[in-house]
Amino acid sequence: MIDMHSHILWNVDDGPKTMVESMKMFQQAVKEGITNIIATSHCHHPQHHVDYNVVNNQMHILQNELTNNSIPLTLHVGHEVRLSEKIVSLYKAKQIHTLANSNYLLLELPSHTIPYYTTSMIQALLVEGITPIIAHPERNKAIAEKPSRLEQLIREGALAQITAGSLAGLFGRNIQKLSLDLVKANLVHSYGSDVHNLTKRPFLFDAGLCYLEKKKQLDAVDTLLENNARILENKPFIIHETEEIEVVKWWNLYKSFVY
């Protein structure tokens, strides 16, 4: 299985602090059935930015460590790129990594809003042949308040990624329920752990899948995992027609929202 959203490089953002911690995370990944991980360190985030070459250098070191320790895991480059009006120029200047050098890019929205220029940036990326995958939309307050906002972004050509921990209940019942609703409505297309460490932000990769199976979303599990594989193959996603989702006012329920 492939984890397409992770923070596994050490001492560069809010992920692990040491290489030893990174290696322990890899051991846990294997226990959860993960065979490939795309490293998506923060890029041009207000608090964190991991340089393009830093990603390359650390990935080389970590992959060598995995090989030397006979850990059956393959790493791939990537970035979790914060939305900005400069995103296309950054891509052209080779300052941001796409996912596993594919035509997919993991795009992070601000926590609370969907900026007015989001649609134009999605369209500009598509012109360059890059399909943006919106990271953890279930944790964006504007989308939580009105899920049809995510549907509109998808109709503009974006895709979306659901987080294992959200489905497993790590961020609370409200986000868990919204996550399941988005899955049922076919408004998310790929699946990632967004792991940062083994304590407060663990993989929960298997737990999220088990939750979907418990809720009888077996077809969704197959599609999410297949689409993850298609990132590595740089192939088009399996896309199911979106279904109507009840628009509920979630805003007051998110007072205890965790970023």
Q: Which domains can be identified in the chain, with CATH numbers?
A: 2-254 (3.20.20.140)
* Cα–Cα nearest to 237, from 216, 255, 247, 223: 223
Mean pLDDT on 122-151: 96
pLDDT given for residue 46 in this prediction: 86
14 burial class (0-12, 13-18, 19+ CB within 10 angstroms)? middle
pLDDT given for residue 47 in this prediction: 87
Residue 242 has pLDDT above 90, yes or no: no
Chain center to CA of 192? 5
pLDDT tens digits along 36-56: 999 999 999 888 899 999 999
pLDDT given for residue 155 in this prediction: 95
Query: pTM score, two decimals?
Result: 0.92
Residue 249 has pLDDT above 50, yes or no: no
Mean pLDDT on 5-30: 97
pLDDT given for residue 246 in this prediction: 52
Task: Round the average pLDDT of the chain to a whole number and report it.
Answer: 93
Report residue 251's pLDDT band, with 50, 70 and 90 as the boundaries: very low
pLDDT tens digits along 110-119: 999 999 999 9
pLDDT given for residue 248 in this prediction: 43
pLDDT tens digits along 74-116: 999 999 999 999 999 999 999 999 999 999 999 999 999 999 9
The H or E element spanning position 43 is strand 41-43
Report residue 243's pLDDT band, with 50, 70 and 90 as the boundaries: confident
Give how far Cα 95 sits from Cα of 53, 124, 143, Å. 9, 17, 29
Euclidean distance between CA atoms 204 and 169, whole angstroms? 10
